[in-house]
Chains A and B, each alone.
Chain A
Amino acid sequence: QQQVKQSPQSLIVQKGGISIINCAYENTAFDYFPWYQQFPGKGPALLIAIRPDVSEKKEGRFTISFNKSAKQFSLHIMDSQPGDSATYFCAAPVYSNYQLIWGAGTKLIIKP
């Protein structure tokens, strides 16, 4: 069963535009929601993470918005750049703080 649902599966955005990726989870008793970025042939790297005591966290061009009641969180990439082209994954600690369950990924392409 899919406990973390990520959308869209792929996304094409013009340079300078806003990229938005969404994630929904079913249940968790834990409090950490990360987004990872993965380039081809590389392991995932943490991009930004949020704890649900806040509804939004911003780091540079990257923002996480969190809606605890809806069990959803999203990643916004402002002023998207070609170097942002990668696959993005959301994850949620469904069973424990250490057992992250991951979304299926969003392949983002930024067109110059």
Chain B
Amino acid sequence: DTGVSQDPRHKITKRGQNVTFRCDPISEHNRLYWYRQTLGQGPEFLTYFQNEAQLEKSRLLSDRFSAERPKGSFSTLEIQRTEQGDSAMYLCASSTTGGGTDTQYFGPGTRLTVL
């Protein structure tokens, strides 16, 4: 399978705990995006990498959220001191460099439940 993969698919945690999610993009894709999606809503942009550089972050993104892409391949998203409001589907997408906006291919998501 050469699509975007995410791990784990489901995560249940208690409020106050830290969680980390992993995303493996399509192998030749140099751009990687993280989104959050709550039930009945569209995805909300969190952050974007080109290779290992984090180029954009949502102005709404809490400082409890941090993302890395150390070697320009896989990425991790960490949420510190989780809150019940963090419960959502966390989606990763990747794309290749091209002129203008390119097609973002999404993974299946990680569903986070904070108790």
Contacts and interface: CB of A to CB of B under 8 A. Distances in A.
A43 B109 contact: yes
A49 B43 CA distance: 17
- Per DSSP, are chain B's interface residues mostly helix, strand or loop, or mixed? loop
B85 interface: no
Given A96-B56, A98-B48, A31 B109 contact: no
Contacts of B45: 99-101
A46 interface: yes
Contacts, number: 61
11 contacts: A30-B101, A31-B101, A32-B100, A32-B101, A43-B108, A44-B106, A46-B104, A98-B56, A99-B45, A99-B48, A105-B41
Interface of A: 4, 6, 30-32, 34, 41-46, 49, 51, 89, 91, 93, 95-105
